[in-house]
Amino acid sequence: MIFIKKIFLFFRRELKLFYTNIVDLFSNILFFFLSIFIFVFALGTDEQLLRAIGLGIIWSLLLLSSTLSLRKFYEEDFNNGVLIIIHMRGISYELIVLLKILSHFLFVQVPFLISIPLASILFNIAMYEVYNLMVTFVIGSLILSCLSSMSASMNLLNKANFSIGGIIVLLFSIPIIIFSVGISEAESDFKSLINILIGITLIFLGISPWASAAFIRLAIRNT
């Protein structure tokens, strides 16, 4: 019961931080829509062209928009000692990372679901593809949160060059985006492809807490 209470307090703290930094979320969503409008105006009124590349553009911009807040994943909690305090209260670094990933998914990634149908209208994307895109984003964005966790924890070791973390996220996200776009366009094999994506997500959820926790421990030792 005490353990569940600690997890509840952790999520309550993350929720407070989310409301404190809610301007950042609106800025990310605004960046997403501005980028969408730029692409739509640049490509013109060719509906077939917009429909053909729309899913890839939306997925790519969702990735870029969600990584704008990458710096705040661990840096603030690391600098003010919150990570160590939470660990001293009986929560392992692996569990802290897992809870951080879930918090990032809920409070950063999920709000973008609202923007997907609106962006899809501008690209004249079919309804079944919009549904597929939203399902793949819910699952695939968990992978993006895992990648963000690993790159942000790695950046704690190399604060002088923060761009390394963003590059890592982009490199590993490319195959995920390609696969997710392929799923979104699928009609017959959608369920089987989704199961593969779920399997990949579970692998990342298993690896990321251990890898991120290892980088956090190394960063603490180096301070």
pLDDT of 202: 92
More confident residue, 191 or 212: 212
Residue 121 pLDDT more than 70?
A: yes
Q: How far apart are CA 174 and CA 170, in angstroms?
A: 6
- pLDDT, mean over the chain: 81
Give the pLDDT confidence of 11-51 residue by residue, as tens digits: 787 777 777 777 777 888 888 888 888 888 887 777 777 77
Domain that holds residue 82: 2-222
pLDDT of 182: 76
What residues contact 182, with CB distance under 8 A and at least 6 apart? 193
Give the pLDDT confidence of 123-150 residue by residue, as tens digits: 888 888 888 888 888 888 888 888 888 8
pLDDT of 135: 87
pLDDT of 159: 62
**Most trustworthy range by pLDDT among 6-10, 55-59, 98-102:** 98-102
Q: Identify the helix (H) or strand (E) that includes residue 8.
A: helix 2-20
21 burial via Cβ count (<10 Å: 0-12, 13-18, 19+): middle
212 burial via Cβ count (<10 Å: 0-12, 13-18, 19+): buried
81 dihedral zone (left: phi>0; alpha: psi -120 to 50; beta): left
Domains: count for the chain:
1
